[in-house]
Amino acid sequence: GVSELFADPRHPYTRGLIASIPNLEESRERLFSIDGSPPALGRLPGGCAFHPRCIYAAARCRTEDPPLHDVGGRFSACHFATTLPPFHSAVLAAASLDSGDVAP
């Protein structure tokens, strides 16, 4: 359900969207953003369409379409849907802001 989606998102794009939700109690907190711009729908990149902007992207993401994984009754089209580290939006945001880099 929806609560599971927010507690344990299994796709990097979903994680990025959730991490970008402002915390109304921490007004000085720097907001997370997903680097780059969405691709033009007529010119999607090879492999996973999200790989150019994904902090978890690996070489196979550029060449192989990701399979659709059943993750507890929800589905995720990500090569790493079943192996992503535990989700915590503040940790994801801090890691992205500290590195400033997208994985190759």
Rounding to the nearest 10 degrees, give the CA dihedral for residues 8, 11, 12, 17: -70
Q: Where are the domains of the chain?
A: 2-23+44-99
List, in sequence order, the alpha helices (H) in the chain.
2-7, 12-19, 59-63, 89-99
CA–CA–CA angle 63, 66, 70 (5° rounding): 170
Q: Provide φ and ψ at 45, rounded to 5°.
A: -70, 160
Spell out a b/e string for 16-47, using b for 16 or more CB atoms within 10 Å of the CB, else e: bebbeeeeeeeeeeeebebeeeeeeeeeeeeb
pLDDT of 41-80, one tens digit each?
Answer: 999 999 999 999 999 999 999 999 999 999 989 999 999 9
pLDDT of 1-37, one tens digit each?
Answer: 788 888 899 999 999 998 888 877 777 777 788 899 9
Provide the 10 A C-beta neighbour count for residue 61. 25
What DSSP letter does each residue of 73-86 carry, written as one string?
TEEEE-TTTTTPPP
pLDDT of 32-42, one tens digit each?
Answer: 888 999 988 99
